[in-house]
Chain A
Amino acid sequence: MASTTVEAGAAGHGAEPRGKRTDDGQATYLIAIAEALWEEMERDERVYLLGEDIGAYGGAFKVTEGFLDRFGPERVMDTPIVEETIVGMAAGSAMEGLRPVAEFQYADFMSSGYDEITTVLSRYHYRSGVPMPVVLRGPSGGGVRASSFHSTNPEPWVAHAGGIKVVCPAFPGDAKGLLKSAVRDDNPVLYLEHKWIYRRIKEHVSEDPDLLVPIGEARVRRQGDDVSIITYGAMVHRALEAAAALEERGTSVEVVDLRTVYPYDEDAVLRSIEKTSHALVLSESYRYAGIGAEVAATIAEKAFEHLDAPVERLSPPNLPVPFSPPLEDAFLPQVADIEAAVDRLSAW
């Protein structure tokens, strides 16, 4: 055959992910993640990738498509379907001075590597003093009709482990800058990329290979005076949509995107509450003992005298994410739920 067909994936075979931006230079969240990995691998030879089907297949979501051709099998390593081995290898090679970025096909499956995550990754530095520059990546979150094994928000599991930073970007620019910060961080970092955002959200992303977004800093995505919505991940987009609708009805909503959920930016949260006196804590992780519970508790402790209404939480119940579309919609906070919660708070 004279012609060969190259299937256009996310990053393209052997091509820089940047070449996969839109014509006007915007990057999707997924491409931004690929760019960050590519640039960090070019910058630092110690950075390598490992995970299931990330090499020849280019990853379940095609984030690492083209990486094998460019960086070779030693730095883009396909592993067996054993998460415990993936995390264990990452930890061991980090002890020896490498900077691994391990991918879970779905963040849900990190539970199979949980012993290595909690017992080794989170503890080893405290035990031995050696740095543990490991990044664990995984697609998280629901809203994509993927059922209970492929829709989990595991950020509280790992935030509770202690010793591991947990990052949940909502926008392509943050996704890129935070992943680069995570790779350069000497601590283990869990980097959760929300699969609902992957191809839905795009924006102009810096091409500066050293533009980092610091871990642990929130960003106010929308300024407002009446009610603060503290959120992260895909819920940021729902909050912004609700805020726009509420603005038309005369309620001014501030949206604080935590970006990092552990350690999270307490000052930014308190500043916002000081301004609006009304707090809606919105998260896609479970309500019970979830990230939202932690944020709400801190507001109650530290901003008591700034509150004009009780702190309200909006998060799913402690149940598996349902497969049935109407049930999944009922399970996840929707724009209408957010609007109703803000209305309740402002009317309190």
Chain B
Amino acid sequence: MRRLDPRLYQIGALMLLLVYGIVALEFDVTFVRAVLLLATAIATQAVGARLGGVSFDPRSAAISGLSLSLLLRSDSLILLLAGAVIAVGSKFVVRIRGKHVFNPTNVAIVVLMLMTDRVWVSPGQWGNVAFFGFLITCIGGLVVNRAARSDVTYAFIVAWSALVIGCSLWVGEPLTIPFHRLESGALLLFTFFMISDPKTTPDSRAGRMLFAALVAIGGWYINYRLFRTNGILWSLAGMAVLVPIIDVLLPAARYYWNDAVVSSPRPHVLIPSPQH
């Protein structure tokens, strides 16, 4: 029996988080803006599909629109909508060997933060309520399991936790400090909904382990050595350019959404299918 597309689970989970964020946590985004972001992302997908001559599928674009609503903040609606266009547009424009390079949401955020100081990401918006972290973990866990790429998530959690806890132990901080850092909703969202994107992570399991570790090290360095915020977002965008190299060094079968089975003995096929 064919499994339900994992993206539908993800869309449901992101919607739930968005409603919870707006209603209970007073996220700095309105429902109207969220809908506009969603519509812009899907419209960009439609235009891209038409220009690229591929069939239109709004699901991934919906995920990008929802993710941007959860993460990207600005006074300017135009900049937010530009984020949606960049996110979805990047899938059609920035491709290596038929595979898009960047996680759409991630690259949109990074590009906008580089271009203007009028956008920002609020990693503190989720608070550190254990219950909420647990909730996201459960929902996110479901999503990644369905997407059959849980390994990258678990590898990242292990690497990140080791760095954060190890650093605190090294400087002699009480364990409440690293635990507080790990209880971050923003971190969980990144771990379960962004780095887990099967389309932009390396094809092989070993490659994904390596990739997750590199993202964790980069993010940790930016956060706790350079003392800049959103280290993991910057790191993911930076490390994404290494994915094609990792895929060459550690080749394996490409992931296809509709198959939802990655371990099948599919040969390494390069199909320009920018409909993700």
Partners in one complex: no
